[in-house]
Amino acid sequence: MDAGANFYQRVYQVLAAIPRGCVSTYGDIAMLAGSPCAARQVGGVLKHLPEGSKLPWHRVVNRNGQISLTGPDLSRQREALIAEGIDVSHEGKISLSRYRWKI
């Protein structure tokens, strides 16, 4: 990880490193990006993410294992997670203890 890289760039790296079929939380990504308390900023990064991006932004959920998004984007992320084999049928909640990615 390059020290000269911006926070956004680091988030991209961490995001791309999340294995398929796993999820991560904003707080974890922020910590891995070098700023343990910048969870909100992680959301800002994903929001700025272009639609054509190959980054698995859908593998990012909040601390509760739920999608913090609202509206159609929420459904899209949920569908993407299901497509990766992640079970979100449990009231839209994901079992972090089972799918959460940790180094």
Partner DNA sequence: AGCGTGACTCCTC
Partner DNA sequence: AGAGGAGCCACGC
20: contact with DNA by CB under 7 A: no
12: contact with DNA by CB under 7 A: no
CA pair distance 70, 66, nearest whole angstrom: 11
98: contact with DNA by CB under 7 A: no
Cβ nearer to DNA, comparing 43 with 92: 43
The sign of the CA dihedral 3, 15, 48, 51 is: positive
Interface with DNA (CB under 7 A), residue from 27, 80, 92, 100: 27
Interface with DNA (CB under 7 A), residue from 14, 18, 23, 46: 46
Burial (CB count within 10 angstroms: exposed 0-12, middle 13-18, buried 19+), residue 69: buried
Cβ nearer to DNA, comparing 13 with 68: 68
Cα Rg of the chain (Å, integer): 13
Cβ neighbours for 54, distance < 8 A, ≥ 6 positions apart: 16
Residues of this chain that interact with DNA (CB under 7 A) are 6-8, 25-27, 34-35, 37-44, 46-47, 49, 57-58, 60, 62-64, 68-69, 73, 77
